[in-house]
Each structure stands twice: as structure tokens, then as C-alpha cells.
Chains A and B, each alone.
Chain A
Amino acid sequence: GENVEQHPSTLSVQEGDSAVIKCTYSDSASNYFPWYKQELGKGPQLIIDIRSNVGEKKDQRIAVTLNKTAKHFSLHITETQPEDSAVYFCAASKGPRNQAGTALIFGKGTTLSVSS
């Protein structure tokens, strides 16, 4: 089955710096790669996602890149702010776009700390 590895497990940056979190996946059939942010005491919330037919996607200060050949994808946060401090999870899934109930396999998470 699918396995998703996520690095680093913790990341500390200064406010204004960039942060990069990397994930690798094992199943070449995976075609959907979301990133979730989890704040303390809350459930995960989607921040950005990418499909396998796209190499990069950007949303303001957040971007995700995908390298299908190497089977890895990365989250890039620029101009970090203290409110970016949270646990970030990558995930992977496969299946037709219109298939109900496609299960996500999550990485183990990265705790990002942004100090001011």
C-alpha cells in the first residue's frame, strides 16, 4: 500500500524567512496531494492541494511543487508569520477524480515554529 514520508518533523524559522517541508510517496498511482494545517486543539484544515497533472500551484504565500518522477512533493511558505506556527501534514491518495470515498494516507507531520 501507499506510504508517505514527511521531513523534517520539526522546523523553526524566524519571522519573514521561508519554510520548506518535503514529502515522498511510494505508490506511483497516487494522483492527489493535499496539505493540511492543524492548529493546537483543532482538526486539520486544507491549505493547498495539487493533482498529478500539475507541477506547481501557488496561493499567496503558499506554494506546492510536485515531482512525479522522483515521487516527492513539497510545501513552500514564504514570508512566514507567527500565525503560521502549527503542525503541517502532507497526504496522498489515488483513484478517479469522481470516485467517492478516496482515502488519504497522511505523513507524520511537521511542527513549524515561527519566532518573531
Chain B
Amino acid sequence: NAGVTQTPKFQVLKTGQSMTLQCAQDMNHNSMYWYRQDPGMGLRLIYYSASEGTTDKGEVPNGYNVSRLNKREFSLRLESAAPSQTSVYFCASSPNPGTVSETQYFGPGTRLLVL
């Protein structure tokens, strides 16, 4: 199993450009999450999807949109990138409700630089 995969690994954008960050998991998990990580700020939740067909805002949703394409895939879209969105973005997934483990499994991250 590959676990949680993210593409691309690194991206440079100009202010105003758009892009979609892709995330996929092969663990048959119900829930998926997008976080951003900034120096000295820890991980902050952008959006999450409790199950296929549902999405909810997290702590810092402004400037982002998400799509839960199917059970495996959860994408994050920046419609008009801003320098403040320069960050490392992590996707995570967690098992089905009612299971023993609540562990969130993280992908390797996408490093985004907005000029």
C-alpha cells in the first residue's frame, strides 16, 4: 500500500494563478483532511471531508476550495494564489468511524511558493 500520496511535491506559482493539489489514499478510509504548515504555526486545518460526498470548513478555509472526488481522492484548489498561501500543504486520512484507531495518516506534503 502506498498510503497517502500527494502531487505535486513542489510548485511555484505567480500571484493570481490557480492550481489544484491532488491527494489520494489507498487505505479505504472514510475521512480526509487538508492542512497547511507554516513556520512556528504548527498544522492548521483548511478543509476536511468526513465521508464521501461531504466537506466542511476547518480553521483557515479562506482562499481555498475542495472536492471529494470519490472515496480515494480529495483535492484542494487555489483559485487565485496569493503570497500568503506560500506554505507546505499536507493531506491526511483517517479510518472509518467505529474503528479502534483514530489515527490520521499524513502524506509527504506539497511545498508551494507563491511569488
Contact = CB atoms under 8 A, between A and B. Distances in A.
A103 B103 contact: no
A107 B49 CA distance: 22
Interface residues of B, number: 32
A49 B98 CA distance: 17
A98 interface: yes
Summarize A's interface: helix, strand, loop or mixed: loop
A104 B104 contact: yes
Contacts of A46: 103-105
Contacts of A43: 4, 90, 92, 106-109
B97 A99 contact: yes
B90 A103 contact: no
Interface in B18-67: 30-31, 33, 40-45, 48-51, 54, 56, 58-59
Given A100-B50, A101-B51, A108 B102 contact: no
A27 to B, nearest CB: 14
A108 B39 CA distance: 9
Contacts of B44: 106
25 contacts: A1-B59, A34-B103, A36-B106, A42-B108, A42-B109, A43-B90, A43-B106, A44-B90, A46-B105, A89-B43, A97-B98, A98-B97, A100-B51, A100-B96, A101-B33, A101-B51, A101-B94, A103-B33, A103-B48, A104-B43, A106-B42, A106-B43, A107-B42, A108-B40, A109-B42
The 3 closest A-B pairs by CB, nearest first: A101-B50, A43-B106, A98-B98
Interface of B: 4, 30-31, 33, 40-45, 48-51, 54, 56, 58-59, 90, 92, 94, 96-98, 102-109
